Amino acid sequence: MMEGFESALIGRCFRFNMEFLVYDQDKVIEILMTQNNWSSEEAMEWFDYNIIGAWVGDEAPGFLMRDW
């Protein structure tokens, strides 16, 4: 579980022999903006590099993007 992002957790995802947590990407960005007083661009850049870009193993969380 990502510490500090509990309110963005929306569920679990299952694949063959795998399970991982899924977070609402928009809520994660909102939390980053609020906690750090960042613009949406700053939060998205940090998210892309430090969260999406950080592989932490097979149980790495997933992020639901609602606006595609």
Number of structural domains, the chain? 1
Residue 14, in any domain of the structure? no
Residue 5, in any domain of the structure? no
Q: Band the pLDDT of 68: cuts 50, 70, 90.
A: low
pLDDT tens for each residue of 8-20: 999 999 988 889 9
Residue 6, in any domain of the structure? no
The pLDDT of residue 15: 86
Domain ranges, residue 49:
21-68
62 Cβ partners below 8 Å, 6+ apart? 13, 20, 21, 22, 23
pLDDT tens for each residue of 6-56: 999 999 999 888 899 999 999 999 999 999 999 999 999 999 999 999 888
34 Cβ partners below 8 Å, 6+ apart? none
Residue 2, in any domain of the structure? no
State the pTM of this model: 0.88
Residue 26, in any domain of the structure? yes
Residue 41, in any domain of the structure? yes
Residue 9, in any domain of the structure? no
